[in-house]
């Protein structure tokens, strides 16, 4: 199965012709030029491809997108607040290296010990939370100045120093 990366979600409808506003976390201004389709998660873990008719940059993290077959405001409304995903190859093409989303799939390492793979990133005002699974339990690891030591893009690793007892909260 192809790996999919969440790049954001449709946050609003623009105009009367079914154009949508995509708020993305690709870390750079882009029009997604050359991308023919994106995937919308209409139901949990169900990625349906939607073909792109046109795109227009609104801001650093927002793009107006016109999808094929979505020609009315009502049709577009059904897609608002839905997560938008790209296959791994397209994601790597459009995401900035510094975009937090580019850390998906990286392994969190503490004291030379692998804690697990980053499954999701949750952006908050002063930190980034990485969701992993350790021993079948969901664990949130904060990334900020105090905990992040190094990001190794070659090895796909994020080295951290966690506060004493943080993992115990989740694992006991």
Residue 149 lies in a domain: yes
Residue 81 lies in a domain: yes
Q: What tokens appear for 100 in the block?
A: 């937090």
* Cα angle 160, 101, 133; round to 5: 55
Q: Are residues 8 and 80 in the same domain?
A: yes
pTM score of the predicted model: 0.68
Q: Are residues 89 and 124 in the same domain?
A: no
Residue 76 lies in a domain: yes
* Domains identified in the chain, total number: 2
13 closest CA partner among 60, 71, 80 = 80
For residue 94, the SS3 value is: helix
Residue 28 lies in a domain: yes
Range of the domain at 21: 4-95
Residue range 91-138, pLDDT digits in tens: 888 887 777 777 888 899 998 899 999 888 887 777 788 889 998 899
Q: Are residues 117 and 160 in the same domain?
A: yes
Contacts of residues 117-120 at CB distance under 8 Å and 24 or more positions apart, as own/partner, are 118/158, 120/6
Residue range 58-91, pLDDT digits in tens: 998 899 999 999 999 999 999 999 999 888 888 8
**Domain finish residue from 65, 95, 125:** 95
Q: What percent of the chain has pLDDT over 90?
A: 41
User: Is 91 in contact with 6 (CB distance < 8 Å)?
Assistant: no
CATH number at residue 128: 2.30.30.240
Look at residue 159 in the predicted model and tell me its pLDDT.
92
Q: 26 falls in which pLDDT band (50, 70, 90)? A: confident
Residue 100 lies in a domain: no
CATH number at residue 26: 2.40.30.60
């Amino acid at each position: 199965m192809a790996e999919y990366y969440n790049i954001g979600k449709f946050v609003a409808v623009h105009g009367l012709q079914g154009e949508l506003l995509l708020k993305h976390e690709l870390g750079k201004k882009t029009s997604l030029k050359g991308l023919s389709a994106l995937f919308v998660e209409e139901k949990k873990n169900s990625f349906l491809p939607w073909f792109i008719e046109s795109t227009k940059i609104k801001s650093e993290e927002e793009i107006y997108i016109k999808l094929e077959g979505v020609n009315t405001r009502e049709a577009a409304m059904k897609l608002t607040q839905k997560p938008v995903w790209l296959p791994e190859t397209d994601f790597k093409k459009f995401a900035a290296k510094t975009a937090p989303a580019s850390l998906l799939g990286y392994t969190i390492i503490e004291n030379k010990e692998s804690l697990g793979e980053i499954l999701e990133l949750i952006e908050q005002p002063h930190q980034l939370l990485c969701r992993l699974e350790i021993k079948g339990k969901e664990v949130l690891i904060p990334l900020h100045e105090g905990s992040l030591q190094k990001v190794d893009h070659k090895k796909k690793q994020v080295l951290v120093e966690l506060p004493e007892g943080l993992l115990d909260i989740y694992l006991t």
